[in-house]
Amino acid sequence: MTEKRPFDILNGSLNNTVVVGLKGGTELRGTMVSYDVHMNIVLEKAQQLVNGEVKRGIGTVLLRGDSVIYISPSGME
Amino acid sequence: MTEKRPFDILNGSLNNTVVVGLKGGTELRGTMVSYDVHMNIVLEKAQQLVNGEVKRGIGTVLLRGDSVIYISPSGME
Amino acid sequence: MTEKRPFDILNGSLNNTVVVGLKGGTELRGTMVSYDVHMNIVLEKAQQLVNGEVKRGIGTVLLRGDSVIYISPSGME
Amino acid sequence: MTEKRPFDILNGSLNNTVVVGLKGGTELRGTMVSYDVHMNIVLEKAQQLVNGEVKRGIGTVLLRGDSVIYISPSGME
Amino acid sequence: MTEKRPFDILNGSLNNTVVVGLKGGTELRGTMVSYDVHMNIVLEKAQQLVNGEVKRGIGTVLLRGDSVIYISPSGME
Amino acid sequence: MTEKRPFDILNGSLNNTVVVGLKGGTELRGTMVSYDVHMNIVLEKAQQLVNGEVKRGIGTVLLRGDSVIYISPSGME
Amino acid sequence: MTEKRPFDILNGSLNNTVVVGLKGGTELRGTMVSYDVHMNIVLEKAQQLVNGEVKRGIGTVLLRGDSVIYISPSGME
């Protein structure tokens, strides 16, 4: 059975590419290398997206959980 | 008797299509596969809606409860 | 004596029509079938209002308490 | 001695007309019939004001404390 | 020694004129007659200011601490 | 060793000039005479800045910690 | 093994250059000399960036954790 509880999605996405939406409308894509119970998230090889297009590279970035609106793993369907 | 308490709505919508409204005005439609006490929600086959029309497909997405404004199951009336 | 404490208003409105204002300016009208201590609210036969006019039908909807600004029962005066 | 502590203002305004300012800029005038420790407030015969003019009647309304910015009793000076 | 800790400023301003800035940009001037640990504040003879000019009189008003950005006693330097 | 932990910066700036940025974009400069664990801050001889230029004098002002975005001591490098 | 948990990123960036994004859209670059469990952060030699270009120098600055959206160490890939 595949677990799909909220934090299972995070755990199942470790070391995979995710898209994260932040308050204020910023959207980032990168490899999720860690998270914690506050939904603080670390992305590597992160890129800022505008309308799905890459705007700039950011490298490693720590996202504060309080700012996260959604997290979408790519290619999970 | 059909239970209609707030979390009963969530439980009764598991594996069904829901529309979720987020802070900032984003609206998503997808199959709700899980939720937790913080109203963190996982949708599969999610689509972003603009004025009720599909704007883009998102696939699986974890929505942070703190960002949720409303959740509407389709076809429950 | 008619009780009018804040949660009495909610209890007295069960199964009656209410108008709920949400953060961001959305206004909904529907039949309130439940609420909880967080002011999470379930409406049935809900309609989104714009300037008091019906914009669209929504059916059943769970409103997250944190997003609620006001709740007004219709015809209570 | 007249008490003027914050919650004394609320208590002293029971069954009197108050003007309440809400987040987002909405201003309401009505008879305050109850409040609780969260500053949830019930108004009766409430009217929405725009620039001090009545925009529409609302009747009874429960205002969520978290949305309240200010409460002003009329004619207390 | 003159105490200047944050709440000393409030205590030292009792029954004096203060200017209070609120979230959303509203600025009020009035006589501070009370406050509590949440920084809920009661002003009397309050006036709403726009660019430092009086826009309208408000009389007595209870300001919710959560909405307060700054409080400035007049003429304390 | 010079301590540089977050609250050391506050302590080390007592009675010195600081620039404080507030939610909503307001920027103030003044002498910091006190702070507490909530980052409530008291400035004296405060001035509101717009694009780094003095817009108006404010005198003594209590800034609510919840509204503070950043605090910068001048001339610490 | 290189640790990459959220707070490891902060610890690993001590005395290195980081870019910090704040609520409201402000972006700062500087040397991170300390942080605490609330993600309060102290930068030295900080500069405010607009579209990645330096707008002005700020020197030492304490950023309140509640305002932080993201923190990106430079050159960690």
Which residue of chain B comes nearest to A39, CA vs CA?
A: B64
pLDDT digits (tens, 9 = 90+) for C50-77: 888 999 999 999 999 999 999 999 743 3
The confidence band for E21, taking pLDDT boundaries of 50, 70 and 90, is very high
* Residue D28: CATH number of its domain: 2.30.30.100
Whether residue E76 has pLDDT greater than 50: no
Structure tokens at B61: 């997405």
Whether residue E77 has pLDDT greater than 60: no
Q: How many domains does chain E have?
A: 1
- pLDDT score for F3: 63
Does A59 sit within 8 Å of G73, measured CB to CB?
Answer: yes
Give the pLDDT of chain B (77 residues) as one tens digit per residue: 456 899 999 999 999 999 999 998 889 999 999 999 999 999 999 999 988 899 999 999 999 999 999 999 974 33
Q: How far E70 CA sits from the closest chain F CA (Å)?
A: 5
Whether residue D1 has pLDDT greater than 70: no
Running along chain F, 77 residues long, what does each successive block of 10 average in pLDDT? 80 96 92 96 95 90 96 68
Domain that holds residue B69: 6-73
Q: Are B35 and B42 in contact (CB under 8 A)?
A: yes
Task: State how far the Cα of C10 lies from the Cα of F48, in Å rounded to an integer.
Answer: 45
Contact residues, chain D, for E36 at CB < 8 Å: 5-7
The ipTM of this complex is 0.89
Q: Are A42 and G74 in contact (CB under 8 A)?
A: no
Of B16, F55, B39, nearest to C65 (Cα)? B39
What average pLDDT does this structure show over E7-25?
Answer: 93
Task: List Cβ neighbours of D1 (8 Å cut-off, separation of 6 or more).
Answer: none
- Of residues D24, D45, D56, nearest to C69 (C-beta): D24
Whose structure tokens read 């409530």? F40
Contact residues, chain G, for F77 at CB < 8 Å: 44-45, 59-60
- Of residues B33, B44, B64, nearest to A70 (C-beta): B64
Does G77 sit within 8 Å of A44, measured CB to CB?
Answer: yes
pLDDT digits (tens, 9 = 90+) for C4-28: 899 999 999 999 999 999 998 889 9
Whose structure tokens read 């030492």? G60
Task: State how far the Cα of C32 lies from the Cα of G50, in Å rounded to an integer.
Answer: 48
Task: State how far the Cα of D18 lies from the Cα of D32, in Å rounded to an integer.
Answer: 6
F35, part of any domain: yes
pLDDT digits (tens, 9 = 90+) for E34-61: 999 999 999 999 999 988 899 999 999 9
Does B66 sit within 8 Å of A72, measured CB to CB?
Answer: no
pLDDT digits (tens, 9 = 90+) for G44-65: 999 999 888 999 999 999 999 9
Task: List Cβ neighbours of G55 (8 Å cut-off, separation of 6 or more).
Answer: G47, G48, G49
The confidence band for A77, taking pLDDT boundaries of 50, 70 and 90, is very low
Alpha helices in chain A (DSSP H): 6-12
C34, part of any domain: yes
List residues in chain E touching F: CB distance below 8 A. Answer: 4-10, 21, 23, 25, 39, 52, 65-66, 68-77
D39, part of any domain: yes
Q: How many beta-carbon contacts under 8 Å exist across B and C?
A: 65
Of B16, B72, B66, nearest to B44 (Cα)? B16
Structure tokens at D76: 């207390």
DSSP B73: E
A52, part of any domain: yes
Whether residue D77 has pLDDT greater than 80: no
Q: What would you report as the CA-atom Rg of chain F, rounded to the nearest whole angstrom?
A: 12
- pLDDT score for D50: 87
What average pLDDT does this structure show over A34-56?
Answer: 93
Does E75 sit within 8 Å of F34, measured CB to CB?
Answer: no
Task: State how far the Cα of D69 lies from the Cα of D66, in Å rounded to an integer.
Answer: 8
Instruction: State the CB neighbour count (10 A cutoff) for residue F75.
Output: 8
Task: State how far the Cα of D69 lies from the Cα of D53, in Å rounded to an integer.
Answer: 19
- pLDDT score for B77: 37
- pLDDT score for C1: 43
What average pLDDT does this structure show over D25-43?
Answer: 95
- Of residues B5, B39, B73, nearest to C34 (C-beta): B5
Which residue of chain G comes nearest to F75, CA vs CA?
A: G59
Does B40 sit within 8 Å of A6, measured CB to CB?
Answer: yes
Contact residues, chain E, for D25 at CB < 8 Å: 24
Task: State how far the Cα of G66 lies from the Cα of B51, in Å rounded to an integer.
Answer: 33
Of F72, F48, F20, F68, nearest to G57 (Cα)? F72
Mean pLDDT of chain D: 90
Higher-confidence position of A34 and A51: A34
F41, part of any domain: yes
Contact residues, chain B, for C61 at CB < 8 Å: 70-72
Which of the residue ranges A39-48, A49-58, F63-72 would you say has the lowest mean pLDDT?
A49-58
Which residue of chain E comes nearest to D26, CA vs CA?
A: E24
Mutate which of B22, B39, B69 to test chain C, going by most C C-beta atoms within 10 A? Answer: B69
* Chains D+C touching (3+ CB pairs under 8 Å): yes
The confidence band for E2, taking pLDDT boundaries of 50, 70 and 90, is low
C1, part of any domain: no
Mutate which of C62, C63, C71 to test chain B, going by most B C-beta atoms within 10 A? Answer: C62
Does A77 sit within 8 Å of B59, measured CB to CB?
Answer: yes
Q: What would you report as the CA-atom Rg of chain C, rounded to the nearest whole angstrom?
A: 12
Of B27, F65, G51, B68, nearest to E6 (Cα)? F65
- pLDDT score for C51: 82
Q: Are B20 and B42 in contact (CB under 8 A)?
A: no
How far, in Å, are C74, E8, E23, E68 from residue E37 at the CA level? 37, 12, 19, 13
Give the pLDDT of chain G (77 residues) as one tens digit per residue: 456 899 999 999 999 999 999 998 889 999 999 999 999 999 999 999 988 899 999 999 999 999 999 999 974 33
* Chains E+C touching (3+ CB pairs under 8 Å): no
Structure tokens at G21: 């994004």
Does B71 sit within 8 Å of C59, measured CB to CB?
Answer: no
Using DSSP, state whether A56 is helix, strand or coil. strand
Task: State how far the Cα of C58 lies from the Cα of C65, in Å rounded to an integer.
Answer: 18
- Of residues A9, A75, A77, nearest to B62 (C-beta): A9
Contact residues, chain F, for E35 at CB < 8 Å: none
Q: How far G59 CA sits from the closest chain A CA (Å)?
A: 23
D1, part of any domain: no
F32, part of any domain: yes
- pLDDT score for D10: 94
DSSP string, G29-49: EEEEEEE-TT--EEEEEEEEE
Query: What is the dihedral sign for C-alpha E1, E5, E7, E12?
Result: positive
- Percentage of residues in chain C having pLDDT higher than 70: 91
List residues in chain D touching C: CB distance below 8 A. Answer: 22-24, 26, 28, 33-36, 40-42, 44-46, 56, 58-64, 66-67
